[in-house]
Structure formats: structure tokens, C-alpha cells
A and B are shown apart, each in its own frame.
Chain A
Amino acid sequence: MNQMNWVPLHREPPQPPPSSVSFTGNRGDFIRLVMRGAALELVTAGFYRFWLATDIRRHLWSNTLIDGDTAEYTGRGKELLIGFLFAMAILVPIYLAYFLVSVEAERFKGFASFPLILAFYAFGQFAIYRARRYRLTRTVWRGVRFWMDGSGWAYAWRAVLWGFLVILTLGFALPWREAALERYKMRHSWYGDLQGSFEGRGLEFFKRAWWLWLAVPFAIVLFPLFPFVYAQFKAIEWRWWLSGIRFAAVRVESKLPRAALIGLYWKVIGWYALACIAVGIYFAVCAGIVAALHGGFQQGAQPELLKNIPMLVLMIIGYLGLILSLNVVLRVYLLRDVWVAVLESVQVHDIGAAANVTAKGELATALGEGFADGLDVAGF
């Protein structure tokens, strides 16, 4: 950072140019971080996930430079662990109650317990809202935190009702659902005393993405097309979402090209294929060695090979290696690289409105993150 950049900005020229957003992080550092994290996740039977998620966010946040100042993530792995344990303590009785209610429903009529899944869907949406609140209250920029009010349940019911509409219209209503839900989330998001809002319109999203909606049936038949369709949908969604974000007078704009993410998705597919081929070769070599050591099996020896303990151990090692590499590939391309591509497309207008914001807002607990983990839902 050169000091000369600061002086003119600080004197606030009458028409400030939009400020850009950039990412200062080193890709190698991130790869090392996720490789180490994936290995620790295996060693700890997955318990390290809370600290790995935290480390990833800390890296991404603290390297995100907005108008000359980087953000900071102040959440900690321990908070996520405690949130998860609390969520489990609440979910267990709910699961039991669910079980008993579904027994009653099934007795009444076969498979009548299906509507109960709806309650879990609503609960998942609640978790998404609360998890977002946790992450936002851990996001700090210029010594002031972001925060959220509003109600997770109010959000969940909106999500459920809009979800119905999306199903009834075979996905046609999706843009309007996203716009309505974003409006709710952003209306209740704050940066200090600056209130957020969302100006993206469902129609706008629809105009840009309707042809993808038509392409989906073709992509399902001709499945190599699917990554193209999905990557373009994600790029359009990102651009539309970012361009709708407001904090009082501060406006965000994104010029993410439609094709920006296609390469990343194909790279993930390529690495997945490579990893699977590598593991396949490894299995074949292991099988060969084990067979040779045993003086060779007779024909059709597959079952005997499957019962061979050293072979099983070698297969488990190969499988674990595959999981490790897939997790690294996923996080590098679909988390870090997408993050960077998206950030670099962003411009912020009238950032001057955020130059003297009063700090406000309380920290939220990580319970929502715990529910999201326990219910296996993810959202933004």
C-alpha cells in the first residue's frame, strides 16, 4: 500500500470515483491452509471442521480489501463447536418427537408422515438465517461490525411459502423468491448504524437467466452441458445479488461476466476425474501386489481379494486419500477462486457514506451455525 493513495482519498474530492474491491491473499497460503485442514479433519474424525471453517473465513475476510481497508473475521472455532453441541442438545428431542409423531401418522395412513419433512425444511431455513447472522456479526471493517436483526422464523415461513410457489411453477418463480428473501435479509442487515437494503428485482434476474431455465431439461439429457448451465446461472446470480446490495447511500455494483465461473467448474470436474483415475490405478496396483504376495488367486478371485485384510487396509487408505484431495480441490476452486473472481468484479459507489459510521449491534451466538451443521443445510 502506497501512502500516496490515501491522501487524495482522504480529502474527499467532490465526485469520488467508485472504489474497487480486491483480494490480497496468496493462493499458495490458502492451498496449504486447506490441505492441512483436510488432513486434520481426517485425524480428528471431522471435529476439526469448526476450526477449518473459521481459518478459511479468517483468510478470506482479512485479505478482502474494500476502499483501502481490509475486513476481519472475529469468529472462533470454539464458538462453532459450542453452537453445534447446543444445537444437538435441542435437535435430539426434536428428532424423537418427530419419530413419535410420524409413527402416529403412518398408523393413520401409509407414508402420511411426509408433510413432516416440511417442518424440517422450515427449520433448515431458520438455521440458514441464524447462521448468516452469526457470520455477519463476526465481520468487522474499520473497527465497526456488521449485524442483523429480524426473526429467523419470519424468514423461514417466507422461504417455505416461496418454495411452494417455485415448485408449483417448476422453478419459474425462483428469481422472485430470491429477490423477496434477499430483501428480507438485507433489510435486517446493518453496518454500524447504516441500514442495508436490497434493490435487485426478480424480473431483472429472470430476464438474464430465463434461457438457462429452458436449457435445464436439455442439460439433464446431455449432461456434459450441465456445468456450463450451472456455472452461468451462478455467475448471473452473483452479479444480480451483488448489484442489488445497498447500505444507506453505499451502492455495490458487479460486472461479473456470465462466463466467469465456467472454467472453475470444469477444473473441479477435471481434478475429480484425475483423482478418481489415480485412486483406480492405486487400487489396481495394490490388488496386483497383494495377489502376487499370496502366490496368486484363482480365477474369479474378487470375493477372496475383498476379504483380504491387508487389501482392505490399502483400500481404506486410498479412499481416505481421495476424500482429502476432493475436499482440497473443492475449497480451492469453488470457495477461494470463486470468491476472488466475484470480488474483482465489484465496485462500490459512494463509499464516503461509510466513512464515519457509529458502531452498533450485538454479537449473535453460533447456535444457528450448529443447526445448519446438524441439519446439513448451507446457505448464504
Chain B
Amino acid sequence: MSISEDGALHRDHPPTVFFDGASSRRRIVRLVFADTLEISETDAASVCWVYDDIREADSPPGMLRVSCLSAPVLARLEVRDTALAAELRSRCARLGENRIDGRAIAKIVGWSLAAVVSIVMVVLFAIPFAADRLAPLVPEALEKRLGDASDVQIKAIFGSGVCTNAAGQAAYAKLLNELRRTAGLDTAVQSAVVSTKVPNAFALPGGKVYLFSALLEKARNPDEIAGVLAHELGHLKHRDNMRGLIYNGGTSFLIGLLFGDVTGSGALIFASRSLVTASHSREAEENADSFAIEVMHKLGRSPKPMGELLFRVTGKEGDSSLTLMASHPLTEDRLKRMSAEDRPPSGPPLLTDKEWAALKAICDEPAKK
């Protein structure tokens, strides 16, 4: 049954080469198709391979390379003769079982899609849930440390431009303490006005609130500033920094698992990450706004001036940005909401005219450490 029983035939056909997996010696062999595949080398005992154990290995075009499950792992038989290769193929029913065929690829695609769905579900539902539940469990000491670390960075970025005009500071402290007491926060809250040209205000974990002087300059009455500060105190009260940290860390990690090294996919990852974190942050901002409205009502003041201040700073936003990507609700929507909550003042003004003038002038002295 062997094709190359005759030595003369050998010369017309490319040789069959066998490597036994124990040494790199190249053995020219003859194949005999008996009950098993007999691989025989001149002057050596023949090796027998069971047909059902034979599997195809990678090979260059024009060669059939096979291995055998019951032989050493790296034993290889290389058949270069087309007729002989066809004969071997016809006898080994399970030759192609190792190959990655359409079904195997469908399986990979299926599992990958399942993984994507699971990641999306975790990002949309599990991580916000975990962030809400875990944030209150973070020890205050750790949160304070986080705040201190970013505080050091902020001081490095903005210099030490903390405004220190004494009368201004007194007015600022009065306003803040009033708000803090109404908001139900303890004296751990620290706050300062920082001299910069960016109109903004923000809260750091562990109870630090910064008001930027440019926002103060644009304000026309104490209620505007009070609303902004109440909003930032809302972030502190809700521990939004910790929630945001857990949420952003978790989603960044999970989304980073996708598209690992696909060149050019950076924009895709960035866009999807911005999309989900923006929606989370919008929700936190809305809650902080609700908190600010509540505090202002308790003080008997209207929240509407805060909306007006924001509108003065940003203008109408709906035309210029993609609403899905925005980290804050649109200013016009915030203004509308706060206008709806507008009530005639029932409490005393938060600052006297003189105190308000002093607060406006808090940065007039040259900044000192």
C-alpha cells in the first residue's frame, strides 16, 4: 500500500521528513498505510501513529505537516508529495480538529459580545450602585488625605493666590458659616477665595471649597454667590468626589479592557468614557442643585440669582455643545429650574451692603501666603 516502496520512486517524489520530537535530527522516512500509520526509517524501528490521533499542524503552502496526540508533543511528520498527502488526509478523519474554523470564530465573537454586554451593564448599573454604596464607607481620614493631596497640587498650579483682605474674609466666613449650618455640615469645612481669571468654584474631598475670584467679580448680589457655595456644599454633603472617583476609576478600567491595542481606537474609548462619566456627573450636578435650592429656601432666599449668575458666565449652551457629552446640565435648564423655585425673600439678607462690598474687594490686597 505504500507509494514509495520502490527506491527509484523516491527520486521522483519529494522526501517525507520526520522529526521525532526528542531531537532535531531530520529523518527521511517511508510511510506505510497499514492499520496504523507506520513511519519507517532505514536502519531504525518504525514508529506507528493511530490515524484518529493525527492532527494537522501549521505548514507552508505545498506541505502537509502533522502531529500525533499519542506521540511526543513536538514530533512532526512533513509530507511534501501531493499524492501522498492526499492519501494521508483521506485516512485521518480528525485531522482538522485543531483548526480554528468558522464555528470557532463564531464562538469567539459570541463570547466577546457577551463580555461587551456584561461590561456595559456593569458600567451602567453596577458601578453607579457600588459608588453610591461605597462612597459613604470610605473613611473620612482617607477622604481628607485625598483632599490634602489635591490641595497641594492646586496650590502648586495657582500659586498661593488665596485672597486675604481681612474685611472680605470676615464677610466670606459669615456667609459660609450661615450656609454650612443650614446645610448641616460640621466645622471641618474649609473655604477660601482664590485669585484667578477662571470663573469657577469647586469642592475637594474632605471638606474644602474654593471660590475663584473671577466668579465673585461677575456676581451682582450675595444670593448669587450663596447659591453657588450651597451647590458646592451639596457636593460635599453627597460625597460626590468619592462617588465620582470610584465611578470614574471603575468605568475607565472596564472600558480600557476593550480595544486594547487596536491602533486609532483611542478616540472611540475616549468618547464612550466621556459619554458615561458625563451622564453620571450631570446627575450629581442636578442633585447638588436640588441641595442648593433646599438650603436657599431654608434661609428664606431665592435660588434664582444663582441660575442668573451661571447664565451670565456661560451664556446659552444648547447651541454650542453636544448635550450628551456635557458634564453639567445646560445652564438654561438650570436657570429655568431655579426660576421655577423662585420665592419672595422671607429671611434677612445674608450679607449687609457693607459686607458685600468687602467681599467683592477680598482680593484687592496683594496676595500673600
Contact = CB atoms under 8 A, between A and B. Distances in A.
Interface in B101-142: 105, 108-109, 111-113, 115-116
Contacts of A69: 17, 26, 78
B283 to A, nearest CB: 21
Contacts of A10: 26, 28
Contacts of B76: 72, 140, 143
A220 to B, nearest CB: 23
A62 B60 contact: yes
A104 B249 CA distance: 18
A51 B105 CA distance: 9
Interface string B151-185: 01101100000000000000000000000000000
A92 B253 contact: yes
A143 B260 contact: no
Contact of B264 (A92, A326, A355, A356): A326
Contacts, number: 179
A323 B24 contact: no
Interface string B247-274: 0010001000111111111011000000
B319 interface: yes
Interface in A5-31: 6, 10, 24-26
A6 B15 contact: yes
Interface residues of A, number: 71
Contacts of B319: 303-304
A160 to B, nearest CB: 24
Given A103-B146, A357-B23, A43 B109 contact: yes
B24 to A, nearest CB: 4
Contacts of B148: 107
Nearest to B256: A374
A359 interface: yes
18 contacts: A26-B61, A43-B113, A47-B116, A51-B105, A51-B108, A72-B58, A103-B146, A106-B149, A109-B152, A110-B156, A192-B23, A192-B24, A307-B322, A327-B262, A355-B24, A359-B23, A373-B260, A376-B261
Interface of B: 10-11, 13-15, 17, 19-26, 28, 57-63, 65, 72, 74-76, 78, 80, 100, 105, 108-109, 111-113, 115-116, 145-146, 148-150, 152-153, 155-156, 249, 253, 257-265, 267-268, 319-323
Given A46-B258, A307-B322, A319-B267, 7 more contacts: A3-B13, A44-B108, A72-B58, A106-B153, A107-B152, A111-B156, A143-B76
